[in-house]
Amino acid sequence: MTYQAASDRYNDMVYKRCGNSGLLLPFVSLGLWHNFGDIAPFDVAKDMIFRAFDLGITHFDLANNYGPPPGTAESNFGKILHQHMAQYRDEMVISSKAGYLMWDGPYGEWGSRKYLISSLDQSLKRMQLDYVDIFYSHRPDPHTPLEETMGALDSIVRSGKALYVGISNYNAAQTRRALEILDDLGTPCLIHQPRYNMFDRWTEQDGLHDVLEDKGVGCIPFSPLAQGLLTNKYLSGIPADSRAADKNNQFLSENDVSAENIKKVQRLNQIAEARGQTMAQLAICWLHRKPSVASVIIGASKVSQIEDIVAAQSNLSLTEDEIKEIDAILD
């Protein structure tokens, strides 16, 4: 059956300008990090992508190593796009990244010109695309001159393989220097993608948001729900079927779901309930209090999770009193 997007998909979605650019992003974007590879049910992944687009989510975030196994999230997304959504390509913002280990040998990770350009070429083939909208340096490379990494991003835009470029996981000092280099090259940085949530506020302590606001660069946090901790899932402890209970899980441990953190989430959830929201919705709204935040990348394993987050747009603003109360809980 041919997919036909919902005719009202743009009626309710909140779109925000990304930094000083002309690009608008939905207040939440769908990340294809961990539930869109070959070990995940293909039809479930397809339904989540369809539903996200029907709800007005136009931005789909990928990377070369997303899966698992690495590369399969891009391949599966490419199949879905090519077979069912090709007519909507110009209504989508599709991003990819390179920086982490992708293939064997000395050229399969980090930030060299050879790796970044080769990786993007592979990503385009997997997704059956001529270009991506945003291409990121996924992490800073301590052994490659920043001028080389940023120069590769500049070349990629000039080649037509990406419309914009971004960086991810760079600290404030690294970010400021990267932005200076890109500005000098004539390819300004569009966006920065850091890990940022209520339990991980390194970007505030580091001054990253100040740099982004000063330079007019958008911010798009990942892991906004702290791998599920900032949801209703752990309000009463660790469920047997949860990520934290899985001994093979490398993203959220029992130590993360400590008694102290559970108490904090319970108190935060009281604020969410008073606002008529779920814990996850409050966590997204809290991120959007920062002026630099243009969108937030969410992960999902089922359609209902996407629907829950999108419903947060009906009440995105936090009062000063709510922000102070949240800060008091988190301190």
Domains of the chain plus CATH, in order, are 15-229+281-317 (3.20.20.100)
User: What does the pLDDT look like over 69-110, one tens digit per residue?
Assistant: 999 999 999 999 999 999 999 999 999 999 999 999 999 999
Mean pLDDT of the chain: 95
User: What does the pLDDT look like over 305-316, one tens digit per residue?
Assistant: 999 999 999 999
- With a cut of 70, list the residues of the chain below it in pLDDT: 1, 237-254
Q: What is the per-residue pLDDT for 87?
A: 97
Cβ within 8 Å of residue 277, ≥6 positions away: 285, 312, 315
Q: What DSSP line would sit under 264-310, residue for residue?
A: HHHHHHHHHHHTT--HHHHHHHHHTTSTTB--EEE--SSHHHHHHHH
Please, are residues 119 and 102 in contact by the beta-carbon 8 Å criterion?
A: yes
Q: How far apart are CA 316 and CA 29, in angstroms?
A: 15
Q: What is the per-residue pLDDT for 246?
A: 52
Nearest Cα residue to 300 out of 29, 119, 80 = 29
Q: What is the pTM of this model?
A: 0.95
Tell me 89's DSSP state. Answer: G
Q: What is the per-residue pLDDT for 234?
A: 84
Q: Which residues pair with 293 in a beta bridge?
A: 219
Query: CB-hemisphere CA count at 13 Å for 324?
Result: 3
**CA 32, 94, 171: angle at the middle one, nearest 5?**
75
